[in-house]
Structure 1
Amino acid sequence: MSSDLRQALEANDLFAKKSLGQHFLLDLNLTGKIARLAGIQSGETVLEVGPGPGGLTQTLLESPAAQVIVIEKDARFVAHLKEFFKSYGDRLIVIEGDALAMDEASLLRKYEAKGAARLISNLPYNVGTPLLVKWLKAGDWRGPMCLMFQAEVAERICARPGQGAYGRLTVLTAARCNARLAMAVPRLAFVPPPRVESAVVVLENHDHPYADLAALEHVTAQAFGQRRKMLRASLKGLGDCEALLAQAHIDPTARPETVPPEAFFALAKAWRGVAL
């Protein structure tokens, strides 16, 4: 952590709040690695959620990004970020608010962002999964993502069929992105250290994404809600599940953790045709 940032935090008594799931990444060597993994291009807009004291923000501002927009829920850090990074002028835009409720498309239009925004964040553990699902549903405003999660969540995002971590989040992610687990981050890298390890996931958009995420959410909720059961049992809530499974070319005796994402896409399409 830079000595200037450390001094600013100490001077203003800025500590992490457990209620907001705050664990700060202040090692500029690590934040630099994350920025490089993210692949920021010249002229891009970067969107960061939960910057806290600004360890990652500092690295993002030193990148070729045209502007860095940060969304921070904690008013203490909104004031701190504006003051500490004021030398960057309008390249840094600090928004106070809840990212889960934020209309990112409108925000980016307001600040005249050019092209899709690249999402780069050390996400608070308590909102990481819902934010990812929200962003998977996003329109053209969203570009590639480089996000830090609790290691267990990162494994679920990047799992392969047959692995223990494979599940609903894996399938939803695969509908829109190619995901890879890019870097492990030890718990002691954070202030204060969380009880669990963390990992950075890089998500690149598909050229041909599966569009109907709402149908996929419904189907996978049924399937993985009873993941120990065969699909012909767990999918009874879909109606004539045997016919739907046949249409999607899925073995009705299979268990959900063995079925690849593409088969779930076919199942969601079949269910949507009947549901309409």
Structure 2
Amino acid sequence: MRLPPLPTVSEIVHLYQLTARKQLAQNFLLDMNLTRKVVRKAGSLNGGFVCEVGPGPGGITRAILSTDAKQVVVVEKDRRFIPGLQLLADACEDRMKIVHGDILQTKMEQIIPETYRVPWEDKPPNVHIIGNLPFNISTPLIVQWLEDMACQSGAWSYGRTKLTLTFQKEVAQRMVAPISSDMRCRLSVMCQYLCDVSIKFEIPGKAFTPAPKVDVGVVHFVPLVKPRINLPFKMVEKVCRHVFHYRQKMIKHSIATLFPVDMPELTAEMFERSDLDPSSRPPELKMRDINRLCNAYNEICQQHSFIFDFDYRSRKHAKLLRRGRNTLTEQLEERILVDLPDSSNHSVEMPAS
């Protein structure tokens, strides 16, 4: 669709004296060739619903409105950008709505029309989330959205909603990092066990205003019909967080942090259940290896309900460990004793006189 004559994005910036705020990690993308390319990488928007995160002065917004997207909602935290965005909303009549708020607090299910809902097993709905994310919220936001995907809640209660987002180049590379890569980390596994994830292209830092010291990657996410690890998100996230805590060391050191120090037997049990080599290193682990570790930890947590809440870094748990050391040990001993043969069956029978 063609928009009516409007001030350029640069003119909007000067008209409303918009400057990027460092504390909000703002960087404007004003080059319309690049904003249109970002939107193209999201796929066909014809007749669809688009939510843009952090539109700022509206560069990507204009590119979205120039497509045949039926409805566009922009979520903007900084009130300074609202007047410029309102010019766009007025120019395209009822196609665009502005939500003033923090995307980390926004309930996505409340802004997506019910008509776009499809079953999870079907093709992704005609719903798209696009955004040039500030660096300071990009990682917490994608982790939050990955959890929504795993729970099929929020925007993912409508089906396998796709994402096209910008990240600092190094973060983008971590998301797609293959096995044995130096970039392989917790975020790699968390993204890849739930999505097909790819870097569509890179944008040099000098293309932004003000220019950051790093380049930017445009990352596309398509949620999988079946996750590669079939366990609750928080279970997978905790195991991955601990596994990659010591990235360059053998995984036996990382796995040990999942359990109280006086229960080393559980670390050994993890490797017995998962059938993995304790001398392996985290970046070498394949998705099926992570899956085995998660399932082994889940089974141990089912046997010892207090284990999942254990945090080796917490002062609270350090105190509890000191006070409850005997209790923890007793629980372990009770489990071991259950597996031992009954001593009453092995009494020595004295000969009759």
Displacement of 1:193: 0.7
Aligned position for 2:213: 195
| Alpha carbons 1:78, 1:95 under 8 Å: kept | no
Q: Structure 2 vs 1, CA of residues 231 and 67 (structure 1 numbering), >3 Å: closer, same or farther?
A: same
| Alpha carbons 1:71, 1:99 under 8 Å: kept | yes
- Whether 1:127 and 2:119 are equivalent positions in the alignment is no
Aligned position for 1:270: 296
Point out the structure with max Rg over C-alpha: 2
C-alpha RMSD of the superposition: 1.7
| Alpha carbons 1:215, 1:269 under 8 Å: kept | no
**Counterparts of 1:205 and 1:248, CA distance in 2:** 27
**Counterparts of 1:233 and 1:121, CA distance in 2:** 38
SS of the counterpart of 1:41? coil
| Alpha carbons 1:45, 1:113 under 8 Å: kept | no
Per-residue CA distance 1:131-186 (angstroms, 9 max, x = gap) = 11111112233511111100010001010111111100000001210111110100
What is the correspondence of 1:172-183 to structure 2 with a 5 Å cutoff? 172-183=190-201
Aligned position for 1:85: 89
- Whether 1:170 and 2:188 are equivalent positions in the alignment is yes
**Which 10-residue stretch deviates more, 225-234 or 188-197?**
225-234
Per-residue CA distance 1:113-136 (angstroms, 9 max, x = gap) = 613431111111111111111111
Letter matched to residue 204 of structure 2: P
Letter matched to residue 82 of structure 1: Q
What is the correspondence of 1:91-240 to structure 2 with a 5 Å cutoff? 91-108=95-112, 111-112=113-114, 114-115=116-117, 116=125, 117-138=127-148, 139=152, 140-141=157-158, 143-209=161-227, 210-211=229-230, 212-239=232-259, 240=266
| Alpha carbons 2:202, 2:216 under 8 Å: kept | yes
SS of the counterpart of 2:111? helix
Letter matched to residue 275 of structure 1: C
Letter matched to residue 150 of structure 1: Q
Q: Which consecutive residues of structure 1, in runs of 5 or more, have no partner in the other structure?
A: none
**Counterparts of 1:59 and 1:262, CA distance in 2:** 41
Letter matched to residue 170 of structure 1: S
Displacement of 1:242: 2.9
Q: Which stretches of structure 1, 4 residues or more, deviate above 6 A after TM superposition? A: none
Displacement of 1:38: 0.8
Letter matched to residue 32 of structure 2: L
**Counterparts of 1:101 and 1:113, CA distance in 2:** 24
**Counterparts of 2:93 and 2:207, CA distance in 1:** 29
SS of the counterpart of 1:53? coil
Q: Structure 2 vs 1, CA of residues 255 and 53 (structure 1 numbering), >3 Å: closer, same or farther?
A: same
| Alpha carbons 1:175, 1:213 under 8 Å: kept | no
Q: Structure 2 vs 1, CA of residues 113 and 4 (structure 1 numbering), >3 Å: closer, same or farther?
A: farther
TM-score (norm 2): 0.73
**Counterparts of 1:10 and 1:112, CA distance in 2:** 39
SS of the counterpart of 2:94? helix
| Alpha carbons 2:203, 2:217 under 8 Å: kept | yes
Aligned length: 273
Letter matched to residue 163 of structure 1: S
TM-score (norm 1): 0.93
**Counterparts of 2:61 and 2:55, CA distance in 1:** 6
SS of the counterpart of 2:277? coil
SS of the counterpart of 1:38? coil
Q: Which consecutive residues of structure 2, in runs of 5 or more, have no partner in the other structure?
A: 1-5, 118-124, 260-265, 303-353
| Alpha carbons 2:189, 2:287 under 8 Å: kept | yes
Aligned position for 1:71: 75
Per-residue CA distance 1:192-251 (angstroms, 9 max, x = gap) = 111111111111111211352111111011111122221112111334233223333322
Aligned position for 1:255: 281
Letter matched to residue 132 of structure 2: N
